[in-house]
Structure 1
Amino acid sequence: MSTEKESKSASWVNDIIKMSPKYLIAFMLFSGVSLLLGNSQLGISLGLKESIDEYKVYLGIVFLASSCFLISHFIYWLYSILKFKIENKVRNKEMINRLNNLNDYEKRILRTFVLYNERSIQLEINDGTVAELELLRILFRSANISSGGMIFPYNLNPVARDYLTKNQNLLSDPIERAF
């Protein structure tokens, strides 16, 4: 019997923790305004002073709890944004690092995008090099429907395009660089 009561209690607390910030704002505003009205002339005029005085402890608890949950939602939101920006920066750094160390076949694939200004090219999905470039987010598959068999359209990541356009020497053959 106690486990049933504990599960209901845990469920109730869990529901409050998962509550949307818009409801938490409403609870915080209602309880905060109620606490302020209890000591003001307006609260007395509206006839709310006695009710507010009776439930002041509960209103205070609701105000503090909703405020704390709102602050935690805000901190989590900031954390999510910062985490995304940091991960994106690390991924772009890894991508640029890899673009500086391309093999000849990878150069041949990427050269088509940059030198011929192609937005999309057809590549085989089962090609290991294409899969690696996709894994590094240098390329991305632009459609899930093949052009026939194992051939799909691929696009170049905008960050990679900008970097390779500025550094076209990275796409030249080793023989061309010697002359």
Structure 2
Amino acid sequence: MAMEWLGSVVSAVLKNAPGPMLAIGIASGLVLFSPDTLIESLGMAAIRVEHKAEIGGAFLLSIAYLSATTMLWLKDVIAKGWKTRSARLVREQRLRELTPAEKSYLAPYVLEHENTRYFEPEDGIAGGLSAKNMLYRSSNVFNMLQGVPFNIQPWCRDYLTAHPELLEGAAPPLQTGRRRRI
């Protein structure tokens, strides 16, 4: 029975930590490190003397737990920032390496402020730009006359709008195919 109770207390503390651990750390730190006059005025002088080892253990465990939790949180924040930055750098590098044909597909979205363009279902360039996360299929419903509707990703539009020089050298638009706009 006692072990079940202890297990439930430990489980509750770990589930709701670091709040309780911070409280334990502050309280045990105050009891351990406060001046004797303050401890005596609080009536805790005897408790500090009799249970110094337990209070010190609680202080060390709570500080260790809070330190580990903080380090793990910082690791996650740094890793997320690094991953986001790396993904952004990869996307920007892909935009700098566009082929003339790919530039011709993206230019109307940016230079002519188009929202949707239509391409044939088997269009490899539109599919490649979609695979590079520059375009996305705006609908899974399409017809054979108009083609498949594609929109530009907001990050791609924003970056190309800020750097229109990346669209220089676009191939002239093809005269065949279903590349239509609305």
Q: TM-score range by the shorter chain?
A: 0.5 to 0.7
Query: If the length of structure 2 is used for normalisation, what is the TM-score?
Result: 0.65
Q: Letter of the aligned partner of 1:70 in structure 2?
A: L
RMSD: 3.7
> What CA distance in whole angstroms lies between the structure 1 residues aligned with 2:53 and 2:61?
12
Unaligned regions of 5+ residues in structure 1, if any?
A: none
Instruction: Tell me the SS of whatever aligns to 1:25.
Output: helix
> What CA distance in whole angstroms lies between the structure 1 residues aligned with 2:136 and 2:172?
29
1:149 has 2:149 as partner: no
Q: Which residue of 2 aligns with 1:99?
A: 95
Figure out how many residues of one structure are paired with residues of the other and give that number: 163
C-alpha spacing 1:123/1:9, structure 2 compared with 1 (3 Å): farther
> What CA distance in whole angstroms lies between the structure 1 residues aligned with 2:16 and 2:66?
10
C-alpha spacing 1:129/1:174, structure 2 compared with 1 (3 Å): closer
> 1:43 offset after TM fit, Å?
1.5
> What CA distance in whole angstroms lies between the structure 1 residues aligned with 2:13 and 2:47?
24
> What CA distance in whole angstroms lies between the structure 2 residues aligned with 1:14 and 1:136?
45
Q: Letter of the aligned partner of 1:21 in structure 2?
A: P
Aligned ranges 1:4-153 → 2 under 5 Å: 19-37=16-34, 40-103=36-99, 106-118=102-114, 120-121=115-116, 132-139=128-135, 146=139, 149=141
Unaligned regions of 5+ residues in structure 2, if any?
A: 143-147, 174-182
> What CA distance in whole angstroms lies between the structure 2 residues aligned with 1:17 and 1:23?
9
Percent of aligned pairs with the same amino acid: 25
Deviations 1:7-30 (A, max 9, x none): 998887676555532222111101
Query: If the length of structure 1 is used for normalisation, what is the TM-score?
Result: 0.66
**For the Cα contact (< 8 Å) 1:35–1:56, is it kept in 2?**
yes
Deviations 1:68-88 (A, max 9, x none): 111112212221222122222
> What CA distance in whole angstroms lies between the structure 2 residues aligned with 1:70 and 1:58?
18
> 1:111 offset after TM fit, Å?
1.8
C-alpha spacing 1:132/1:44, structure 2 compared with 1 (3 Å): farther
Instruction: Tell me the SS of whatever aligns to 2:116.
Output: strand
Q: Which residue of 1 aligns with 2:177?
A: none
C-alpha spacing 1:69/1:133, structure 2 compared with 1 (3 Å): farther
Quick one: higher RCO (CA 8 Å, sep 6+), 1 or 2? 2
C-alpha spacing 1:26/1:89, structure 2 compared with 1 (3 Å): same
> What CA distance in whole angstroms lies between the structure 2 residues aligned with 1:46 and 1:130?
75
**For the Cα contact (< 8 Å) 1:140–1:154, is it kept in 2?**
yes
Structure having the higher Rg? 2
**For the Cα contact (< 8 Å) 1:110–1:171, is it kept in 2?**
no
Q: Which has the larger share of helix?
A: 1
